[in-house]
């Protein structure tokens, strides 16, 4: 596992809260994409796209699952009909690993980071959840070409 330590900058984001079954995240993602297209406030071509994983979909009851879909912004998000709100990914040290391939298997990379890398690293997780930065999307490339950075916030 090729883990890099980085200082992640404080990042203002437009945020859509997904609060139901992990199997329905793609519906929330589509809603977020529609907001992006309608407003132009977080264009995919110029903004970073993130996902904040508050819960593990393998161990959290579907009705309690929380995941935030985000896009970086340079200005506050005005009130809107899509339910997109202002949010922030805080600055701080993070361990980063690149996941290659399907998002269906990204959990294996997350657990490998916790199970294999973290115990021998001498590092301690910070009080913020794992988050993802999506470098490309399944509508742009084949599923096996997807690249997703996994960020583990550290103290």
The CA-based dihedral angle spanning residues 130, 132, 138, 144, taken in that order and rounded to the nearest 10 degrees: -70
- The pTM of the full predicted model, rounded to 2 decimals, is 0.95
Look at the chain and report how many structural domains it folds into.
Answer: 1
Which structural domain range is residue 84 located in? 4-153
Measured CA to CA in angstroms, residue 75 lies from 41, 78, 112, 114 at distances of 8, 9, 36, 34
Pairing state between β 147-153 and 67-72: unpaired
Per-residue pLDDT of the chain (155 residues; tens, 9 = 90+): 899 999 999 999 999 999 999 999 999 999 999 999 999 999 988 999 999 999 999 999 999 999 999 999 999 999 999 999 999 999 999 999 999 999 999 999 999 999 999 999 999 999 999 999 999 998 889 999 999 999 999 99
For residue 105, what is the domain's CATH number? Answer: 3.20.80.10
Q: How far apart are CA 136 and CA 134, in angstroms?
A: 6
């Amino acid at each position: 596992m090729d883990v890099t330590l980085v200082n992640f900058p404080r990042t203002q984001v437009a945020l859509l809260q997904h609060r139901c079954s992990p199997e329905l995240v793609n519906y929330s993602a589509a809603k977020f994409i529609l907001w992006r297209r309608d407003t132009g406030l977080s264009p995919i071509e110029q903004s970073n796209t993130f996902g904040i994983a508050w819960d593990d979909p393998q161990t959290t009851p579907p009705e309690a699952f929380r995941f935030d879909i985000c896009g970086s912004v340079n200005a506050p998000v005005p009130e809107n009909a899509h339910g997109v709100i202002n949010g922030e990914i805080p600055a701080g040290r993070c361990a980063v690993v690149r996941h290659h391939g399907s998002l269906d298997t990204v959990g294996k990379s997350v657990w490998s980071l916790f199970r294999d890398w973290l115990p021998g690293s001498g590092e301690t997780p910070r009080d913020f959840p794992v988050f993802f930065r999506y470098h490309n999307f399944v509508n742009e490339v084949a599923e096996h070409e997807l690249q997703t950075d996994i960020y583990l916030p550290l103290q």
